[in-house]
């Protein structure tokens, strides 16, 4: 099956939402996102879509957090497509986007530390990130007992 990596389009929102919700229920590794959040932050998202039926197979977003800091978030690959390098391609697209924007520090909050270590991220203390990063945490169902690890890459 042929795929296409591209910036998300308005017609992708329902597919991104479905992918995020399927993964949220499956293993809790990704925070749920409402349709409102997805529409409001659509420009942050990259997707990998099937060239045949345009279904969303994977997604990832780069969210600007601060002056020189952005977050890789909402990284999801459909169950049947994992282990094929789609996640790597999406993170690489986000890192390239960060450099284009002039942002050279990118972090992720994750439970999949080996994946991000393999990508070149290093574990850091959550305290090393600005308080602005934690605004989303207040609305998280895991707050205040978050078990995610902060990972950072300096580009």
Distances (CA, A) of 145 to 39, 48, 142: 28, 32, 6
Peptide bond preceding 144 in cis form (omega within 30 of 0): yes
32 pLDDT band (50/70/90 cuts)? confident
pTM > 0.95:
no
- Listing DSSP states for 85-148 in one string gives SHHHHHHHHHHHHHHHHT--EEEEEES-HHHHHHTT-EEE-GGGS-GGGGGGGGG-TTTTS--P
What domains does the chain contain, in order, with CATH numbers? 3-154 (3.40.630.30)
pLDDT of residue 129: 82
Condensed to tens digits (0 to 9), the pLDDT of residues 63-114 reads 999 889 999 999 999 999 999 999 999 999 999 999 999 999 999 999 899 9
């Amino acid at each position: 099956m042929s795929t296409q990596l591209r910036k998300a389009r308005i017609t992708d929102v329902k597919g991104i939402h479905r992918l995020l919700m399927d993964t949220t229920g499956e293993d809790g590794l990704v925070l749920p996102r409402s349709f409102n959040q997805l529409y409001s932050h659509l420009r942050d998202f990259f997707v990998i879509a099937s060239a045949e039926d345009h279904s969303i197979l994977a997604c990832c977003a780069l969210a600007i957090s601060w002056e020189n800091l952005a977050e890789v978030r909402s990284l999801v690959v459909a169950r049947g497509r994992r282990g094929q390098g789609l996640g790597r391609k999406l993170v690489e697209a986000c890192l390239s986007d960060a450099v284009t924007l002039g942002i050279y520090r990118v972090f992720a909050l994750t439970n999949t530390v080996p994946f991000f270590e393999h990508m070149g991220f290093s574990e850091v203390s959550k305290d090393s990130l600005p308080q602005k990063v934690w605004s989303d945490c207040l609305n998280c169902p895991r707050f205040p007992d978050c078990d995610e690890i902060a990972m950072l890459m300096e580009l």
